[in-house]
Amino acid sequence: EPEVTQTPSHQVTQMGQEVILRCVPISNHLYFYWYRQILGQKVEFLVSFYNNEISEKSEIFDDQFSVERPDGSNFTLKIRSTKLEDSAMYFCASRETGPDEQYFGPGTRLTVT
């Protein structure tokens, strides 16, 4: 069964460093998402991406964040200058089209020290 994959599973970085989280969505999916979950809290929407552009973003998704689909398979989330409060689990999700559900990847745990 096709699945969303994410790398790395865990990344530790120092405050102020740039990180890139990578996702490979399911191949025929057209809509891509990033969510984050701070430990013990609910899952929060960050950004959605369709047709090579951002379709919606939350207040969390400020200028420090960017997304890109550099080729036909990868979907990346970049945090330019990490802060301690960026420590969280980051989930990538993809959706085929229409009213289909979103399929989540296993997540990347980001720890900022």
Contacting residues toward other proteins, per CB under 8 A: 31, 33, 35, 37, 41-45, 48, 55-56, 58, 89, 91, 93, 98-99, 101-104, 106-107, 109
**Any bridge partners for residue 92, and if so which?**
34
4 within 8 A of 69, measured Cβ to Cβ = no
Q: Which is nearer to other proteins, 42 or 71 (CB)?
A: 42
Structure-token pair, residue 103: 């399929």
At closest approach, how far in Å is the CB of 86 from other proteins? Answer: 17
Residue 52's nearest CA partner among 36, 31, 26 is 31
Specify the residue, 58 or 66, whose C-beta has the smaller distance to other proteins.
58
Q: Measured from the CB of residue 101, what is the shortest distance to other proteins in angstroms?
A: 6
Considering the complex, state which of residue 79 and residue 107 has its C-beta at the smaller distance from other proteins.
107
Q: Which residues contact 60 (CB under 8 A, 6 or more apart)?
A: 36, 44, 46
